[in-house]
């Protein structure tokens, strides 16, 4: 099946065309075209993502990104089309909330032949509602124009499915599986009995782990998004073999349940800086080495907590495959530590996505949508009403 997938849940505008085969038994995905525009440089100025800014940038980028993807996948055929006015009116109605998008869309797609695509997958949640809506409206407009079904897709299911894509690791997932999802908005342990059967067995009570990385980085004066900056500093501390001075807590590590809490860790960073780095004029002053030492301690604390809870869940649910997804698994040290679990638990398979598939992308949305379409072909019949659901949760999808 050829899938066009669209992701706009946060600050990356992403479009891909993916060839999917093998069903749920042995899914395989070939990327025919992929384009991603990161808004990071725009949001850096504000130190975080403003939903209305994200929405505006998505609306600007979707049409050119799709054109590029069609070209890369050799599906871009220029042809004067003859769509009726009524159809354009309907599309204008679908795109009415998305500033400037309709004119862009009409100018481009009235000259492009319908590509051979089986369905369109679009992220419907969780994420920033205004940002999600742009992607959904764009997908519905394309679905209308080309008469192709549109499937709403859960972003977190996408992070889970990211391990199935073009990975050198061909080993098949064996159930029960456990997913550790670590991103900017989520920290969750998900028990997976089969594709489409998700049960959240642990989650954060406050900040997500990526959010804690970003907030700690901000305190240290590092640019947004801070996860990657902290990990660079921490790596510097390790390669230079700096002495370990800073001490931070490991919140909830002994709580006995599978929940997390990262807001205390972030506050502990603030207190550490205040108590150890303040000079007599009340200014927070530190050397680069002191910053690197604190970044390493922060990363070590996160790793210990994530490992402890994940290992507890592996034992508790007799897990055969551990899947890790979400932007934070782009972190080198976290990847290394989780990779070691295979040797520690006999028979355990650990699946980690390629680094480029760890952070937000649209290929993972195609993969998740393919599994759902395969398990429940009825969703490909007829146009669905799709709404942005900022707080969409993973659950049992009743697909079997």
Which residues are at the interface with ligand KG4 (CB under 6 A)? 10, 183-185, 210, 213-214, 225-228, 231, 326-328, 330-331, 359-360
Smallest separation, CB 39 to Zn ion (Å): 14
Residue with smaller CB distance to Zn ion, 123 or 191: 123
Residue with smaller CB distance to ligand KG4, 149 or 390: 390
Of 112, 99, 12, the residue nearest 60 (C-alpha)? 99
Taking CB within 5 to 8 Å according to partner kind, which of Zn ion, ligand KG4, none is near residue 353? none
Taking CB within 5 to 8 Å according to partner kind, which of Zn ion, ligand KG4, none is near residue 228? ligand KG4
* Chain residues that interact with Zn ion, rule: CB under 5 A: 183, 360
Taking CB within 5 to 8 Å according to partner kind, which of ligand KG4, Zn ion, none is near residue 187? none
Smallest separation, CB 16 to ligand KG4 (Å): 15
Torsion region of 38: left, alpha or beta (phi above 0 gives left; psi -120 to 50 gives alpha): beta
Smallest separation, CB 183 to ligand KG4 (Å): 3
How far apart are the C-alpha atoms of 333 and 44, rounded to whole Å?
25
Torsion region of 135: left, alpha or beta (phi above 0 gives left; psi -120 to 50 gives alpha): alpha
Phi, psi dihedrals of residue 322, rounded to the nearest 5°: -105, 125
Smallest separation, CB 336 to ligand KG4 (Å): 12
How far apart are the C-alpha atoms of 324 and 326, rounded to whole Å?
7
Of 263, 266, 250, the residue nearest 216 (C-alpha)? 266
Residue with smaller CB distance to ligand KG4, 144 or 159: 159
Q: Give how far Cα 88 sits from Cα of 67, 105, 113, 145, 190, Å.
A: 19, 10, 15, 8, 43
Taking CB within 5 to 8 Å according to partner kind, which of ligand KG4, Zn ion, none is near residue 225? ligand KG4
Residue with smaller CB distance to ligand KG4, 49 or 65: 49
How far apart are the C-alpha atoms of 375 and 384, rounded to whole Å?
17
Smallest separation, CB 318 to ligand KG4 (Å): 28
Burial class (CB in 10 A: 0-12, 13-18, 19+), 78: exposed
Residue 220: CB partners within 8 Å, gap ≥ 6? 226, 230, 233, 269, 273, 291, 294, 295
Taking CB within 5 to 8 Å according to partner kind, which of Zn ion, ligand KG4, none is near residue 214? ligand KG4
Residue with smaller CB distance to ligand KG4, 186 or 309: 186
Residue with smaller CB distance to ligand KG4, 95 or 121: 121
Smallest separation, CB 301 to Zn ion (Å): 22
Partnered with residue 180 across adjacent β-strands are 189, 324
Taking CB within 5 to 8 Å according to partner kind, which of ligand KG4, Zn ion, none is near residue 126? none
How far apart are the C-alpha atoms of 214 and 227, rounded to whole Å?
5
Residue with smaller CB distance to ligand KG4, 224 or 317: 224
Smallest separation, CB 189 to Zn ion (Å): 16
Q: Give how far Cα 366 sits from Cα of 3, 70, 161, Å.
A: 6, 15, 9
């Amino acid at each position: 099946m050829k899938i066009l997938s669209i992701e706009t849940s946060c600050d990356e505008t992403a479009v891909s065309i993916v060839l999917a085969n093998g069903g749920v038994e042995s899914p395989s995905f070939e990327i025919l075209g992929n384009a991603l525009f990161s808004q990071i440089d725009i949001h850096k100025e504000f130190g975080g993502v403003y939903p209305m800014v994200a929405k505006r940038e998505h609306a600007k980028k979707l049409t050119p990104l799709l054109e590029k993807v069609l070209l890369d996948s050799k599906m871009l055929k220029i042809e004067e089309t003859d769509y009726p006015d009524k159809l354009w009116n309907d599309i204008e109605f679908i795109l009415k909330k998305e500033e400037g998008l309709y004119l862009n869309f009409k100018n481009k797609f009235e000259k492009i032949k319908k590509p051979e695509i089986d369905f369109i997958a679009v992220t419907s949640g969780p994420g920033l509602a205004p940002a999600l809506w742009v992607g959904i409206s764009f997908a519905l407009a394309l679905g209308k124009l080309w008469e192709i079904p549109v499937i709403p897709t859960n972003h977190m299911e996408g992070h889970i499915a990211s391990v199935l894509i073009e990975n050198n690791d061909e080993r098949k997932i064996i159930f029960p599986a456990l997913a550790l999802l670590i991103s900017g908005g989520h920290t969750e342990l998900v028990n997976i009995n089969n594709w489409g059967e998700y049960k959240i067995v642990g989650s954060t009570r406050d900040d997500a782990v990526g959010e804690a990385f970003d907030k700690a980085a901000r305190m240290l004066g590092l640019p947004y998004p801070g996860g990657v900056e902290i990990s660079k500093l921490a790596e510097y501390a390790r390669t230079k073999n700096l002495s370990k001075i800073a001490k931070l807590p490991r919140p909830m590590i002994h709580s006995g349940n599978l929940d997390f809490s990262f807001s205390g860790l972030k506050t502990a960073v603030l207190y550490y800086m205040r108590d150890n780095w303040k000079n007599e004029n009340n200014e927070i002053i530190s050397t680069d080495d002191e910053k690197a030492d604190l970044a390493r301690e922060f990363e070590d604390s996160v790793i210990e907590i994530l490992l402890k809870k994940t290992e507890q869940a592996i034992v508790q649910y007799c897990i055969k495959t551990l899947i890790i997804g979400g932007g934070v698994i782009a972190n080198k040290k976290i990847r290394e530590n989780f990779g070691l679990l295979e040797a520690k638990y006999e028979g355990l398979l650990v699946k980690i996505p390629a680094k480029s598939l760890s952070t937000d992308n649209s290929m993972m949305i195609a993969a998740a949508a393919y599994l759902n379409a395969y398990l429940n072909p009825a969703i490909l019949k007829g146009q669905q009403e799709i709404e942005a659901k900022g707080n969409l949760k993973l659950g049992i999808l009743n697909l079997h």
